[in-house]
């Protein structure tokens, strides 16, 4: 855990909230996150966890309850390695989502690729923060109710629904910046969870746990290979630098 980034993230978590953005709120959130880092040293702390733990604190109003809810999420509901140092699980989830988006919104995917928009620009924040930083709190609470009951597949449904709702608007945007702005502005104002959930659960047939498991297995090996290649390149650069004449 990087103490510097960890402390900075405390102040960035729901800024201006009347309780959480106070010394007392920061201390409470810090205790929950530090406690979990001791429970699972392989995870430690990763950006995104602060928003999840912070919202759990606000809802549960009890540090121990928030801690155990966080443990359930990370250990029983979300994909393994989502919050480890190299975000392996998150990279896998992003690739699975890209496949799903290509299946359900092929025209949109082609358009986004043509203008150079990488959906990881929004998906990373959505999946690591479980939408807590991106959608209105009332909407997030409805999503989390389903998340705790039905598992992580709801995250894919919600993400697909966001793109589906905004598909026509996004197709009209010609630049990466315009697409990103449209998505961010639309998610900030999705105060009606019923509309979002209706789209999420009335379409996207065939998305079940079996499908997601197979897709994750398919992409996991590729992600691990890419990460290994990246490490080897960094090691080679480091070795070359050490051998270079001073």
Counting residues of the chain whose pLDDT is more than 70, the rounded percentage is 92
Q: Where does the pLDDT of residue 3 fall: very low under 50, low under 70, confident under 90, or very high at 90 and above? A: very low
Tokens matching residue 70: 């966080």
Domain with CATH 1.10.8.270 in the chain: 3-77
Per CATH, is 3-77 categorized as 3.40.50.2300? no
Tokens matching residue 200: 């999420």
pLDDT in tens, 130-179: 999 999 999 999 999 999 999 999 999 999 999 999 999 999 999 999 99
Considering the chain, what is the average pLDDT of its residues? 89
**Nearest by Cα to 43 from 52, 28, 33, 53:** 33
The CATH number for 88-222, chosen from 1.10.472.80, 3.40.50.200, 2.30.30.30, 1.20.810.10, is 1.10.472.80
- For 58-95, give the DSSP string: HHH-SHHHHHHHHHHIIIIISPTTTTSTT-HHHHHHHH
Q: How big, in percent rounded to 5, are the helix, strand and coil portions of the chain? A: 75, 0, 25
pTM summary value: 0.88
Domain with CATH 1.10.472.80 in the chain: 88-222
- φ and ψ of 159, to 5 deg: -60, -40
pLDDT in tens, 31-62: 999 999 889 887 777 888 999 999 999 999 99
């Amino acid at each position: 855990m990087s103490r510097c980034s960890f402390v900075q993230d405390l102040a960035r978590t729901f800024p201006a909230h009347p309780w959480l953005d106070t010394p007392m709120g920061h201390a409470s959130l810090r205790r929950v996150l530090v406690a979990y880092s001791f429970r699972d040293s392989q995870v430690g702390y990763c950006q995104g966890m602060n928003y999840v733990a912070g919202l759990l604190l606000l809802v549960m109003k009890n540090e121990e309850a928030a801690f155990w809810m966080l443990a359930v999420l990370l250990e029983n509901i979300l994909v393994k390695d989502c919050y480890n140092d190299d975000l392996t699980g998150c990279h896998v989830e992003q690739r699975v989502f890209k496949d799903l988006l290509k299946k359900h919104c092929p025209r949109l995917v082609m358009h986004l690729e043509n203008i150079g928009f990488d959906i990881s620009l929004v998906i990373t924040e959505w999946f690591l923060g479980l939408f807590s930083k991106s959608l209105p709190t009332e909407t997030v609470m409805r999503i989390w109710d389903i998340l705790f009951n039905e598992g992580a597949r709801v995250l894919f449904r919600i993400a697909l629904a966001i793109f589906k709702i905004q598909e026509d608007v996004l197709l009209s945007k010609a630049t990466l910046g315009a697409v990103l702005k449209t998505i961010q502005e639309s998610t900030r104002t999705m105060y009606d969870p019923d509309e979002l959930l209706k789209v999420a659960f009335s379409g996207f047939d065939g998305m079940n746990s079996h499908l997601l498991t197979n897709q994750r297995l398919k992409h996991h090996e590729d992600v691990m290979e890419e990460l290994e290649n990246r490490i080897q390149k960094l090691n080679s650069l480091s070795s070359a630098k050490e051998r270079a004449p001073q």
